[in-house]
Amino acid sequence: MVNIMNKEEYKKLVKKYEPKKNNCMSLLISFLVGGLIGFIGQVIVNILITSFGIAKMDAYAWSCIIIIASGSLLTALGFFDSWVGKVKAGLIIPTTGFSHSVTSAALDYRKEGLITGLGSNFFKLAGSVILYGVISAFFLCILEVIIHG
């Protein structure tokens, strides 16, 4: 005899086995980790300005490159994936998320070939950021030009 569950029962069953999300905890962790990355960025910027005498705008660009490089390195070493699973937004919203998605795609698809694997899948995850960033910036710029001449 086939036991056909109705939708209500099924929903209850699904809810029972769903991993419980600890909302408050994940919020706090994201806040702390995201804040920490902002703090580290500020430390890097200030060190570059005071110790190396780099101009302010260049220091921001350097800090961006350093954070991307360290995010990329941590992904390649295999730490980042488990961290992203735990922290989520705290690591994805800073630029580390961008470098993580590019690096993990590069690592995963390299064995499928340099062109068909690495090349064609490189921007699989980060492509949407670049695409929608460029599209929105372009049309907002056109809008600004139309409004203010």
Contacts of 91 (CB under 8 A, 6+ apart): 33, 34, 37, 80, 83, 84, 97, 100
Is there binding between residue 77 and another protein (CB under 8 A)?
A: yes
What is the x/- site pattern for another protein, positions 78-97, by CB under 8 A? x--x------xxx-xxxx-x
Distance CA(41)–CA(63), nearest Å, equals: 6
Among 13, 113, 116, 144, binds another protein (CB under 8 A): 144
Applying CB under 8 A, among 1, 17, 76, 113 the residue interacting with another protein is 76
**What is the x/- site pattern for another protein, positions 15-54, by CB under 8 A?**
------x-x--xxx-xxxxxxxxxx-xxxxxx--------
Q: Show contacts of 76-79: CB within 8 Å, 24+ apart.
A: 76/103, 76/107
Separation CA 134–CA 147 (nearest Å) = 20
Binders of another protein among residues 103 to 142 (CB under 8 A) are 103-108, 110-111, 118, 122, 125-126, 128-134, 136-138, 140-142
